[in-house]
Chains A and B, each alone.
Chain A
Amino acid sequence: MTQIVLETKDLTKTFGARKAVDAVNITAYEGEVFGFVGPNGAGKTTTLGMALGLVRPTDGEVCVLGQRVTPNRVQALRDVGALLGAPAFVPYLSAWENVELVARLSPGVNKKRIHEVIELVGLTESARKKVSKFSTGMKQRVGLAMALVHRPRFIILDEPTNGLDPAGMREIRQLLRTLAENGTSVLLSSHLLNEVQQVCDRIAVLHRGRVVAQGRVDELLNRQKPAVRLTVHDAEAAVRAFESLTGIENVQASGNSLLVLGVDSQAVMNHLLQHHIIPTEITAQKTDLESVFMDLTSAN
């Protein structure tokens, strides 16, 4: 049976009168890349802060690797690596010294492993430079190296590709997939929906402190209703024709362009031909996580 690496039960955090996290229930399984998405201020970092024992929950509980974080924080987080928000490091030390300092917390982490992890995140050439002189992307790589150095079973990464160039982002995405394939469970919190769609197996969508959807990425994408964008010579005639099409939910017109929601392109084409209307252009709207996300967050 697949082990649960992170489980929250009605996790709630209140700051004064404001509920930052409201009865959040999420479950992440061993060996998967779990995405945690939501707009800024949705409560993602606060939820992760509670999972990492940095923030005290107002209500509910959070279990990491089978242990309740409160009160077993020390045991629960022993095999966890984390990069929360902007990477934390000692600014006057070099990348190597920072990783070495963190490695001292775990017995058995030797210089070979430090070298390995520095190479893994692509910092070999800058390893001896002071971190304070690094660019945001390079600092992010140091943070990743520090999160990975003790070979954790579960890593929690909050916006790990922040500040990286497209090539760097791709490298990190590949790294996360490789880690998951090698048995490390990953929780990736990001607002880059394209990145989450490419990397994650399952996701939870957080909006205004509440989980509005959770499940496999492909299931969530399939849940999205089809949409077709087309251009016609007589938009008014086309709109009238669609009134008799079964399954149609909405037609949005903008000049000669129409967006038809709820039916696929084949049904749209057949129906228009029956009414002797020939579109000059027709494309099935690609279902992506962004449209799913927009639907979910606007509905809530």
Chain B
Amino acid sequence: MFLRLFAIETRKTLKNPGLWIGLAGVLFLLACATLFRHVQILNGYAEFSGGLEKDLLSGLAFFNQIGILAYAILSAGIAAFDYVDRSLHLWLTRGVSRLTLLTARLTAILFFGLLLVCVSVIAVLGLSALSRGLFFGGVDTTHLNPAALPSTVLRLFWSSLPYLALTVLLAVLSRSPFFAAGGTILYSSVVEPFAPALGEKFPWLIRYMPASLSRVLQNGALALDRHALPISPDAIMPQGQAIFVIGMIFLLLSIASFVIFSRQDLGG
């Protein structure tokens, strides 16, 4: 039943015009960022050296900023729209277990989240190569290490887990895609940037914030700071521990979603 539900969720999401509009939006913003950087290089405002690797770092740093928006909209779309159009009833009245349904839905969110990161990495590389070819007459791939790309993708994806799970929890709690996506965007754009101001009084708060953990994770491969932090990534925690903590946050938020969803009245 899990595989059937996962296939249903995947099919539903792939057929949703919102997915393609959102993806086109992300790609458009990435293209704009790449072009902006190359125009800066042409005008002498940015360094020419570094080639495609530098473009990738810069593009993914930008994706790390806009990614939360895309993750939030994607997961709210999958987890909350069923409450609005009541298609949740279609599965539950057929005897589908709530646990299996939410697991399938969460798996679909993870699948599309990973796909989004992969597409973004490929798009940044493709757009940079195209733009460099047009503006500078060639592509410098000297510093680019293709073997490091999978690790980069996985680090980016793993960093997104707390935001995906938070959106699912908000979707189950509020039954509204707007509150779910809005809540996550509000958290990442208001709570996280202002939390470092409290860093001296509550250092543990900074340590376990998804933005801090994301920074620790990116520190080894790419410097993709989401927000400036009062402490250096090395001082927060080791990378292995950060991976574990992110996993635990995801698990706890998901368990909370399961508990609430399994006890929810869905009449009418």
Cβ-based interface call for A262 (8 A): no
B95 pairs with A80, CB closer than 8 A? yes
Which residues of B1-32 are within 8 A (CB) of A?
Answer: 1, 4-5, 7-8, 11-12, 15-17
Beyond A80-B93, A84-B93, is A101–B12 a contact (Cβ under 8 Å)?
yes
Beyond A73-B97, A146-B90, is A88–B265 a contact (Cβ under 8 Å)?
no
Q: How far is the CA of A277 from the CA of B126 in the complex (A)?
A: 101
* Interface size classification for chain B: 20 to 34
A45 pairs with B94, CB closer than 8 A? no
Cβ-based interface call for B235 (8 A): no
B95 pairs with A54, CB closer than 8 A? no
B96 pairs with A54, CB closer than 8 A? no
What is the chain A residue whose CB lies nearest that of B97? A74
Q: How far is the CA of A172 from the CA of B42 in the complex (A)?
A: 70
A55 pairs with B267, CB closer than 8 A? yes
Q: How far is the CA of A49 from the CA of B267 in the complex (A)?
A: 5
B93 pairs with A78, CB closer than 8 A? no
Interface of A is mostly: loop
Task: Please name all residues of chain A whose beta carbon is closer than 8 Å to the beta carbon of B43 when the two chains form the complex.
Answer: none
Q: Name the distance in Å between A73's Cβ and chain B's nearest Cβ.
A: 6
B92 pairs with A102, CB closer than 8 A? no
Q: How far is the CA of A101 from the CA of B90 in the complex (A)?
A: 10
- Centre residue among B7, B12, B263 by max chain A CB count within 10 A: B12
Q: Name the distance in Å between B13's Cβ and chain A's nearest Cβ.
A: 10
Q: How far is the CA of A69 from the CA of B95 in the complex (A)?
A: 9
Cβ-based interface call for A176 (8 A): no
Cβ-based interface call for B143 (8 A): no
Contacts from B to A (Cβ < 8 Å): 1, 4-5, 7-8, 11-12, 15-17, 85-97, 263, 265-268
Contacts from A to B (Cβ < 8 Å): 45-46, 49, 52-56, 73-78, 80-82, 84-86, 88-93, 97, 101-102, 104-106, 146, 150, 156
